[in-house]
Structure formats: structure tokens, C-alpha cells
Structure 1
Amino acid sequence: MALKRMDNVGIVVDDLEETIDFFRELGLELEGRATIEGEWAGRVTGLGDQHVEIAMMRTPDGHSRLELSRFLTPPVVADHRNAPVNALGYLRVMFTVDDIDDTLERLRKHGARLAGEVVQYKDVYRLCYIRGPGDLLIGLAQELG
């Protein structure tokens, strides 16, 4: 098999500091920060000369990462944050948490708000979607039993 793993999911943000703080509160660890710029980077993305601040956030188990990017140049050209959950394309990241109520209480201090309500799926999960910093859509799941 050629595929080894999924390294990360990229999210473009307005406010890198606020988003780092939010994901730290959720339980991710800041793995590192960097500034990516120059023609070589633009050859990868197809954007030409670019200047981007990035932060790599890692889940506590070490298996998953979010790459948070704040583009300085070129400017952001589209905004998908207010798309409904049935919109085409990448939409959200789902995290499993120990206690959904405690997690919501902590994240509300960082501006999080429920997109709907907390619901229970059978005796398996409690689930909700929240809007985080910059209106990012994030799913939370608590395993039951």
C-alpha cells in the first residue's frame, strides 16, 4: 500500500494567536510555528510568491495535526466559514472529548458558541457543532458507555 498516513488538515484563519489559544484550550499542543515565504512555497501551492504564518497543532495522542495558516500575501480570496453543513467541500474538523459539557464551558470563554444543540445519538455519542474563532465550524463528540 502506498499511503502511509494523513499528516494534517489545513485551516486558513484571520487571527492566528486567537485560534492557537482556542485549540490549546480544546487540548491540542502547539508543535511549532514558522513563516513560510518565497517563490519555492508558491510553486507548491500555485499561488506564486507568498508570505504565510503557520502554526502546527497536535492532538494529545500525537496522531493528528492541524496546520493553521494566516496568509499575509497573497490576500485571502474566498470565505467558506458561513457555509451550511451540506455545502460541498471540506467543512469541519471533529474532535472526540472526554466531557462535552466541560469542553463547551471552557471553549465559551474563548468565544465558542453552539451552532445547534448538543444531541445524543443512541447510547453511543453526544454530539454538537460549535463555531470557534473566526466562525470556524468544529464538531465535538463524547463517546458514551
Structure 2
Amino acid sequence: MTKHNLLRMDNVGIVVESLDETISFFLELGLELEGRAMIEGEWAGRVTGLGNQSVEIAMMVTPDGNSRLELSRFINPKVIADHRNAPVNALGYLRVMFAVADIDDTLVRLYKRGAQLVEEVVQYQDSYRLCYIRGPEGILIGLAEPLK
């Protein structure tokens, strides 16, 4: 048996322009703001390969405490690419999927925060109701309601 050192997936990171708007959206979805901080200096750039950097981050956590979403707003260096409106069959980051208790109620609340349904809510067998939405800044988010 091979021994692995993996403990868990710590977080998924998304770079945004408006940290406040994106935090509000994910708070409405049901995540909690675990913390917000500036990450600055050459030491951080040694991790990312970006040199001397200045980034404001917000760590969002799911109610069960098991999953995190790191939102980052780069101040320096400036953002050089934008993949937010890529279709679901584009290479690279695709989407973050959240399980919700009531997909219809969740959509009503997120529409008030600017969410747009990508196509429609569909049912997969007797297992899930599913949809994709575009959240703040076009971030692609999946919602899945487990069926009892």
C-alpha cells in the first residue's frame, strides 16, 4: 500500500476585482468570512513567482468548516489576464460547485446579488437538481440540490 502525505484540499482561489462585492455574494450563498488580510512583500512573491507583491485576500469558509474559498484582489503586480467569461469547455479553472438545501430559494437570493442562470435548472436522475450560474464578475458557480 502506498502511503500518501495528503491531508485535505485546503482551498480554491479566485482572483477578483471587487473583493467587497464578491464577499457579499458568497455571504448570501451561505459561506462565512473567516478572515481578510493584506499579503505583501517579496516573501509572498517567492511562493507565487510574481516577485514583490501586494494582494488583499478574503478567506470564505463553508458552514461545516471543511471547505474554503480564497478570494484575492491583486494590487501589485496588476492582473494580466481575464478568464472570467470563458465557456465551461475552456481549459483551466472551470467552476466551484456548492451543495445547497433548496436550489430555488438560493437562486432567488443570488439573483438579487446579480447572479445569472447560465441555461436552466435540470434534474439528474433521482439524485440532484443542478445548475450553473454566473456570479459577481462572471465567476462560474455550480449549485447542486441533493434529492432525498
When normalised by structure 2's length, the TM-score is 0.97
Task: Report the AA paired with residue 103 of structure 2.
Answer: I
RMSD: 0.5
1:12 matches 2:15: yes
The residue aligned with 1:67 is 70
Distance 1:45 1:74 in 2: 11
Give, in angstroms, the shift of residue 90 of structure 1.
Answer: 1.3
Give, in angstroms, the shift of residue 89 of structure 1.
Answer: 1.0
Runs of 4+ in structure 1 deviating by more than 6 angstroms, as ranges, are none
**Per-residue Cα deviation, 1:10-40 (whole angstroms, up to 9, x for no partner):** 0000100000000000000000000001100
Q: Which of 122, 125, 130 matches 1:127?
A: 130
Percent identity between the two aligned chains? 77
Distance 1:94 1:3 in 2: 22
The alignment partner of 1:18 has SS state of: helix
Task: Report the AA paired with residue 109 of structure 2.
Answer: R
The residue aligned with 2:5 is 2
Structure 2, gaps ≥5 residues long: none
The residue aligned with 2:147 is 144
The alignment partner of 1:67 has SS state of: strand
Give, in angstroms, the shift of residue 57 of structure 1.
Answer: 0.1
Describe how 1:103-118 pairs up with structure 2 within 5 A. Answer: 103-118=106-121
When normalised by structure 1's length, the TM-score is 0.99
Distance 2:7 2:125 in 1: 34
The residue aligned with 2:24 is 21
The residue aligned with 2:81 is 78
Distance 1:117 1:13 in 2: 25
